[in-house]
Structure 1
Amino acid sequence: MAVLTKRSLAFPFQLIPNDQGLFLQVGYDSIAGMMSLAAFLRFDSVRRRRRGTPSSTVEEQQVPWSVPRKLKPKVTTVALVLLTLYFASGLFAQTYDQILYSLRSFGVPINPQLHMSLQVLMSHLSWVFMGCKILSTQLPKFFSKESTWYRSDRREYWMWWVVGGYFFSSWVFNVADCVNQIILPEAFFAGDEGVVGKLLNPETPSIIASIFGYIAPCISAPWWEEVLYRGFMLPALHVLLPLRWSILVSGIIFSLHHLTCTGFLPLAVLGWTWAKVYVESGNLWTTMVIHGMWNSRVFLGGWMGI
């Protein structure tokens, strides 16, 4: 996958003239994404023809959850509490920052990169713990095997969904990123490094710090964000809105969660794509693994230069 991500097919000329240097080549991951979409459309057409059912619209599509509409007041309250908690979770980071500075003052060997890695990891795990606590207490059986909020079964044959969904995500992300670079002024991209970028470009490199830095964005975040946005938020919105609008709004909320202006459009597109992949596959493990692979590509790609 590193080969498909980094390699590209060069065009003999610039397809669409522009000053940003775009449309000179197409990545192999994007080509694989287009092929994945074509394969899915073919598979879906054959499946529907065998069943004797016409092509359905997104509104008629069966969803992998069953949330009673009587829970409408409850899910609205839980969503608002989670939103408030997320913005308040910045206090976790400040608290852990002070704790780590105190430990360093007592002579504990914590270099700046390890300091940041531990701060990000502990504050993220605190946010995950509090979020899980709210979901489990306010929505009984949310995490149980009998849960009707989401479907996740590791025994199902879902690997093809992961491979196809990953490369399709790469394609739509690359397209959205091109649009982003065209519509946004170049000044917007200056200095937009983010926390992960700082973890990858430390003043004092450390393998141990990189390992701790990997856990939050590449292991716990993919699991939690899929549970939160595709497992809870998408069905909760579907209680209030039609499916297509639920997917649209959930993707926007997913993008806003990352607090980045330059990444808003590409991340919203990823949110819409993964919501659609979850609905089609009917298994939350699919998007969890895709999300983990995606974040790992970003993290390890920057760390190892692949």
Structure 2
Amino acid sequence: MTLKRLILSVLTLFVAILVGGSLWSSFQEPQITNRLQLYQTNLLLHATAATEITGEVDGAALQKALLGESPLKTALEQYQAVRKAAEADLAKLEKRLATVDPAALGDSGPPPAASSRPIPSRTVDSQATRLTTALQQQRSLLDQLNLSIGILQAEQGDLTAAQQTWGKLAESAAAGSPAADTARTLTGLWNEPPRIVPDAEMQLQKGLEGWFRYTALDRLYSLQQRTEALNALRADEAAIAQGTLLKLALVGTVPVLGAIAGAGLLVFLVAQRLTQGKQSILALNGEVPWDVPWDWEIIWQVLIVGFFMAGQVVAPLIVGVLSPVLAAFGPRAKAVYAFTYYLLMAGSGLAVLYWSIRKWIPLPKDWFQYRGADRWPLWGLGGYLVALPLMIGVSLVNQHIWQGQGGSNPLLQIVLEEGDAVSLGLFLFTAAVAAPIFEETLFRGFLLPSLTRYVPVWGAIALSSLLFAVAHLSLSEVIPLTTLGMVLGVVYTRSRNLLAPILLHSLWNAITMIGLFVLGSGARL
């Protein structure tokens, strides 16, 4: 074995441990799906409030179509389901934290079991910090869920259940915590007779969001007989509800219409393939491999050194060194961090790719083609429409498999909660421009064609799609991203133009980001 292969073998073992550990870690983390459902429910509750305020028949019809006969009951069931999942996740986090060396937590608890494998102190510190932070976030989530569940129970007339929910929260939350104070404020408002604490309005403004804040303030102003404030609040809620209808269409109706169009296009393409054979659109270039001048060792080198080592090890280390500088951006630091990290990963990855294949330049036909005068927009848009129904179907199966576990891309939750326009712009550029260009150049532009030297085109599509999915380091996303990767691969192999899968990838990421922003902005109103 040459020295180069020995080094690559060692790096591959390191990468396998790193990727395997990340996937295993994601297995024990919750998905973002439940949170997305709650954000959409919050938008629906705003629409429901519009019907109650204005009494419009159209609003009532919308309410029935979206939430059913009992919208508050449906919303309560959704919140209770998420709370149950959050409680299970909290128990898992507490169990995992208990296995960490207590010294890393500043605790004097019992030593780890004798069978525990020794862990380097820096790893323990990092793990302990990450788990402690995750634990705090999970407890904060449960506090917010219980505040909201209590309001939904109270609005349905079940005051006993609401008082119990808030009472348990006030007892379990840390003394003087905002959640505990808000719970006591809500308890007083729905008490018989009502008890209004001196800073009730401030507590409700700070402790609640969206429909829940409006509902609690409506109760407060009604009890205080503040007619002017109550009328202004209801007018504000009615105005918000009008915008909510558009947001509901964006996050609900538009994707459904796109999925219907995509299903029709998919049926047409499959039928044409069955009836016209090699003359069909799907058969175009379907069995034509690339002329690959390099061997498997170059493929191995680009993946291990150019993507995994540069992207998952070197880039995070550099960004970590730059973290004090990035922290100066304040609330926009996360967006700048993500943007900087991705540019470093893409730049280093593409540099390794160029260095690895430079001696074969100029390359044979069809390599890294970015042809503007072509039908790539039709391929990209058509691929996006076809991907919609496929991804919806796969996601339903995926949810059944993972039951809310398996982790999600952390960027999704950040965008969901982000309200700053500049930060959102950076996130959108990172996801909709930088990521598609880099990932399509590497996985579709280099990896897929290179694999056709050893396997058929369909095999190269499948294998490159699986590696594309695994590279995202989230276990629950492997099946959906493999599916998306296969659509991207089909689009590229047929069009032979990288602009087509880049457009598809960009549309997918951009529309996902916009949908998250719409959901998040609706919850913050």
Query: Given the two structures, how large is their TM-score scaled by the length of structure 1?
Result: 0.77
The residue type paired with residue 353 of structure 2 is L
Asked if 1:269 corresponds to 2:483, the answer is yes
Asked if 1:73 corresponds to 2:292, the answer is no
Structure-1 separation of matches of 2:398 and 2:271: 30
Check the 8 A contact 1:78/1:138 in 2, yes or no.
yes
Which one is further off, 192-201 or 25-34?
25-34
Counterparts of 1:154-233 in structure 2, within 5 Å, are: 154-186=372-404, 188=405, 192=408, 194-202=410-418, 205-233=419-447
**1:133: how far off?**
1.1
Matched length: 270
Counterparts of 1:1-306 in structure 2, within 5 Å, are: 27-44=256-273, 48=277, 61-63=287-289, 65-68=290-293, 70-82=294-306, 83-88=308-313, 89-101=315-327, 104=328, 110-112=329-331, 114-140=332-358, 148-186=366-404, 188=405, 192=408, 194-202=410-418, 205-305=419-519
Structure-2 separation of matches of 1:150 and 1:47: 30
**1:142: how far off?**
7.9
Check the 8 A contact 1:136/1:143 in 2, yes or no.
no
Structure-2 separation of matches of 1:193 and 1:46: 41
Structure-2 separation of matches of 1:168 and 1:257: 23
Check the 8 A contact 1:234/1:250 in 2, yes or no.
yes
**1:271: how far off?**
0.9
Sort the Cα spacing of 1:210 and 1:62 in 2 relative to 1 into closer, same or farther, 3 A. same
Cα-to-partner distance string for 1:161-185 (whole Å, 9 max, x where unaligned)? 2222111111111111011011222
Q: Secondary structure at the match of 1:111?
A: helix
Sort the Cα spacing of 1:169 and 1:139 in 2 relative to 1 into closer, same or farther, 3 A. same
| Structure showing greater relative contact order (alpha-carbon pairs closer than 8 Å, 6 or more residues apart) | 1
The residue type paired with residue 39 of structure 1 is F
Q: Secondary structure at the match of 1:263?
A: helix
Q: Secondary structure at the match of 2:453?
A: helix
Cα-to-partner distance string for 1:1-41 (whole Å, 9 max, x where unaligned)? xxxxx9xx99xxxxxxxxx99xxx99322221211112323
Q: Taking every aligned residue pair, what percent have the same amino acid on both sides?
A: 22
Structure-1 separation of matches of 2:284 and 2:371: 26
CA RMSD of aligned residues (A): 3.3
Structure-2 separation of matches of 1:197 and 1:46: 45
Sort the Cα spacing of 1:73 and 1:259 in 2 relative to 1 into closer, same or farther, 3 A. closer
Q: Which runs of 5+ in 1 are unaligned?
A: 1-5, 11-19, 105-109
Check the 8 A contact 2:291/2:453 in 1, yes or no.
no
The residue type paired with residue 180 of structure 1 is N
Q: Secondary structure at the match of 1:67?
A: coil
Check the 8 A contact 2:366/2:496 in 1, yes or no.
no
Check the 8 A contact 2:273/2:283 in 1, yes or no.
no
Check the 8 A contact 1:141/1:147 in 2, yes or no.
no
Structure-2 separation of matches of 1:143 and 1:43: 38
Cα-to-partner distance string for 1:111-131 (whole Å, 9 max, x where unaligned)? 22x100001101110111111
Structure-2 separation of matches of 1:120 and 1:208: 13
Sort the Cα spacing of 1:44 and 1:192 in 2 relative to 1 into closer, same or farther, 3 A. closer
Check the 8 A contact 1:93/1:120 in 2, yes or no.
no
Q: Which runs of 5+ in 2 are unaligned?
A: 1-39, 41-64, 67-77, 82-252
Sort the Cα spacing of 1:143 and 1:253 in 2 relative to 1 into closer, same or farther, 3 A. farther
Structure-2 separation of matches of 1:57 and 1:282: 10
